[in-house]
Amino acid sequence: MGSQETRPVVASRDALFQPFTVKSLSLRNRIVMSPMGQAHAVNGIPEPGYPAYFRRRAEGEVGLIVSGATAIAHPSAHMDLNEPHFHGDEPLAGWKQAVDEVHAAGGRMIPQLWHSGLHGLAYVPPTWEMHGPSGVWFPGPQADGSAGPNEVRGKPMSQADIDAVIAAFGEAAETAQRLGFDGTEIHAAHGFLIDQFFWEKTNLRSDGYGGDLRDRTRFAVEILQEVRRRVGPDFPIFMRISQFKMMDYTARLADTPQQLAAFLEPLADAGVDVFDCSLRRFQQPAFDGSHLNLAGWAKKLSGKAAMCCGGIGLGAGSVDFGDADAYKATATASLTDLDSLCEMLDRGDFDLASLARAILGDAAWPAKVRAGREHELKPFTADLMLSLS
């Protein structure tokens, strides 16, 4: 771990600044930069600004950086031509430089490995063939603002397609380890390929990859088993999950703790070390009758570590991730909710707090909060999306 200047910690924020260890990964605090794909990668090659962009967050004392979604080596993994690849000499050279710079600044970093499945059919349908469990997808609003068709069809995956994607995730995880990353995250949330297998509306299969919610985890389980086989027992594996889909924010995988347990158990058994639970507001209880959010339940039910995101460090008037203008609307910096976040961490509800827009707005968010320089925090503004600042 790199050196860290010692300053008095603001008492009520202590929980954020406790170290944390999972397998071979030791973090200086509980603050994580959420994955944010920003499409600064023409033909999959990360722009030269990426390493310094991540390094600034490590210098700002972010404990763990999760890269934005990065495409595994499969022909339909990427959603558009401007998201970075996690394969090929040029993209990997960029990623290697990024992780080296983060380490030099005392930070830790993991890549978010990703296959978009049929999600590419949203907005601007790509020219290449799209894959999904059953070929069914619900594109939602189109690029021109029109409603678009309710349902479109890509290619239902054959066993050979499934095997190829599993192998590609395994290869990407092994590559992450070889490049010096501190673990890996598998993107199984937000309606992308793995989540398309989880969701009953997009997984209509009658073979062993379909069925009830537990059965629908089989694809993810086989990916996890292959990743674990390739990286060994000590390399931490994070898995991002969500109830919602980016094309349907009301969607849910589990309506009860029992259903959630049936979903999480096979994933935990197959190798997940940390469930990264994607929420739009971290305070949202997952089920009636308990204050626990999805991360709280994931930790309680699986016995694994958990983290959550959603509005941390953002003002009450800021729009939720996924609302039409979330990327365009300024999100004011606010620490009003940090007391409840710290209570949740103190109680051990979950282990890590993940921030997207707040850390895009201010790379030094952790350092400023730790030093009580909260009045200096900068807000998230849309222009930050235009460059890797």
Ligand X SMILES: Cc1cc2nc3c(=O)[nH]c(=O)nc-3n(C[C@H](O)[C@H](O)[C@H](O)COP(=O)(O)O)c2cc1C
Residues binding ligand X (CB under 6 A): 34-38, 68-69, 112, 187, 189-190, 240, 278, 309-312, 314, 321, 327, 355-358, 385
State the Rg of the chain over Cα: 19
| Of 69 and 168, CB closest to ligand X | 69
**CA–CA gap between residue 190 and residue 209 (Å, rounded):** 19
When the beta carbons of 108 and 205 are compared against ligand X, the nearer one is: 108
- Give whole-number Cα distances, 114 to 89, 140, 187, 315, in Å: 18, 21, 5, 30
Q: Phi and psi (nearest 5°) for 367?
A: -60, -40
Whole-number Å distance between alpha carbons of 95 and 100? 9
- Residue among 35 and 91 whose Cβ is closer to ligand X: 35
Can you tell me whether residue 55 is helix, strand or coil?
Answer: helix
- Least CB distance to ligand X at residue 322 (A): 8
Strand partners, 137: 152
Taking each helix axis from N to C terminus, what angle separates 159-179 and 89-104, rounded to the nearest 10 degrees? 40
Kindly tell me which of 34 and 202 has the beta carbon lying closer to ligand X: 34
Neighbours of 373 (CB within 10 A): 13
| Cβ burial, residue 256 (10 Å; 0-12/13-18/19+) | exposed
| Least distance CB 311 / ligand X (angstroms) | 4
Give least dist CB 380 to ligand X, A.
7
CB nearer to ligand X: give 205 or 224: 224
Give the nearer residue to ligand X in terms of CB position, either 62 or 205. 62
